Amino acid sequence: MAGGSCRGLLDYKTAKFALTRNWRVGLLHRLLQLGVLGYLLGWVLLVRKGYQDTDRAPRAAVVTKLKGAAAAEVRGAGRRLWDAADYAHPAQSPSVPAGMCTEDADCPMGEPVVHGNGIKTGKCVMFNTTHSTCEIYGWCPVENNTLSRKPLLAEAENFTLFIRNTVHFTKFNFSRCNALQTNDPYYFKSCTYDPSLSPSCPIFRVRDMVEAAGETFGDLALLGGSIGVRIEWDCDLDRPAAHCQPQYSFSLQDRRYNFRTASYYWDSQQRLYRTLLKLYGIRFDISVHGQAGKFSIIPAAVSFGTGIAFFGAATVVCDLVLLYLDAKADFYWKEKFEEANPPKGKSEAAA
C-alpha cells in the first residue's frame, strides 16, 4: 500500500483538450475573453498606462508676486494709497480681550492677559457696577472692531497674482515650469491666465480666482477668506515635453481671514504712538501635486503577463461551469479526464 501511494506522487497529469458543442459555455468563454481584453487595453494600457514606470513625488518650488494699487479712506488716517508693500503680509492670529477679576490677587503683576491687549499691572479695577477687570499696561485706546459695510479695497478684484511653479521629476531627470519660455519682455506684462487662450501665462486675476472657487469678490473681501490653489501635473514623457502642462483648480477653504499690522512713530514730545490696522483680506494657499510616466520594459511585461494570466482564468471558470454546473457534467467529466496506462512488458507480465 505504501509503495503504491509513493508511486502515485510521481504520476504526471497532462492537459487534454476536448471540443464541446455547448453554446452556453462557449458564449460565456467569449464574453470573459472580451472582458479581459477590454480591461487590458482600456484600463491597464490606456487609462493606467501600465506599460510606464512612474514618479509620483516630484520636487516643486513656488514663487508668488501680488501686484496692484488702490486708494481708500482709513478712519483716523484720511485717504491712503495701498500697494503690494501694504497688503501682502504673512498670517497672524487674532486676539480677544480677557482678564476678569475680583481682587488684586487675581491679577499677578507682569503676567500677560491670554488673548488680551496688554500686561497686568497687579491691580483689579472696577469696570462697572457689577464687573471688575485686571488693569493692564498696553496701548490706548484698544482696538475698534467696527466693520465697514463694503470692502475697503474694492479695486483689489483686478489685482493680479503671479504664480511661478517649477517641478522636477527626479527619477526621469525631467523639469518643467508653468511659465511660457519666451524672449518677449512684454509678454508677462500683458497676459492673463486663460485655460483655452493663454494656458502658459502664470498671471491670475484675483476676481477670476475667487469666482473659480464659487464665490464673489464682494462677499469674500468684506470679512476675508482663504482660497486653495491646486496645481496638478500629469506628464506623459513618451510624448513631447510641450504636452506636459499644469492644470489649475480653485476651492474655498475658509470664509474668514484677517490679520493685524502696526506702524510706529514718535511725536514732538518723544511719546511713542502707533497706528494699528486690522486687515480683512484673501489668503491664497498653493499646493503642487503631480506624476510623470515613461515606458519601461518591466512594468510592460508585468501588465501583459497579468493579462495573459486572466485569459487563462477565463478558461478555468468555463471548465468549472462545464464540469460542476452543467446538466451533462458527468458526461463532460468522463470525456475530459482519462487515465492512460502504458501496455505492460513481457517481464512485468511474467512477474
Give the residue with greater pLDDT, 151 vs 102: 102
With bands split at pLDDT 50, 70 and 90, how would you rate the model's confidence at 88? Answer: low
pLDDT of residue 16: 67
User: Is the omega angle on the peptide bond into residue 141 within 30 degrees of 0, that is, cis?
Assistant: yes
How far apart (Å, rounded) are the C-alpha atoms in residues 33 and 317? 11
pLDDT at 345 over 80: no
How far apart (Å, rounded) are the C-alpha atoms in residues 271 and 212? 49
Dihedral pair phi/psi, residue 94, rounded to 5°: -75, 165
With bands split at pLDDT 50, 70 and 90, how would you rate the model's confidence at 75? Answer: low
pLDDT of residue 285: 93
- Residue % of the chain over a pLDDT of 90: 21
Nearest residue to 167 (alpha-carbon basis) of 250, 228, 233, 248: 233
- Give the mean model confidence (pLDDT) for residues 311-319: 82
pLDDT at 234 over 90: yes
DSSP 8-class letter at 113: P
Cell of 294: 515613461
**To which residue does cell 506599460 refer?**
51
Across 77-81, 115-119, 217-221, 285-289, least confident range: 77-81
- Give the mean model confidence (pLDDT) for residues 236-260: 90
* Distance, C-alpha 261 to centroid of its chain: 32
- Give the mean model confidence (pLDDT) for residues 158-171: 93
Please state which CATH class domain 22-51+296-336 belongs to.
mainly alpha
pLDDT of residue 229: 95
Domain ranges of the chain: 22-51+296-336, 55-90+157-294
- Give the mean model confidence (pLDDT) for residues 160-172: 93
pLDDT of residue 110: 85
pLDDT digits (tens, 9 = 90+) for 2-34: 555 566 676 766 666 767 777 787 888 888 888
pLDDT at 231 over 90: yes
CA atoms within a 13 Å half-sphere pointing along the CA-CB vector of 315: 8
pLDDT digits (tens, 9 = 90+) for 89-127: 553 343 334 578 888 988 888 888 766 677 888 989 887
- Give the mean model confidence (pLDDT) for residues 324-350: 66
pTM: 0.67
DSSP string, 290-315: EEEEEE-HHHHHHHHHHHHHHHHHHH
**To which residue does cell 462697572 refer?**
128
Q: CATH classification of 55-90+157-294, choosing from 3.40.190.10, 2.60.490.10, 1.10.10.10, 3.40.30.10?
A: 2.60.490.10
pLDDT at 340 over 60: yes
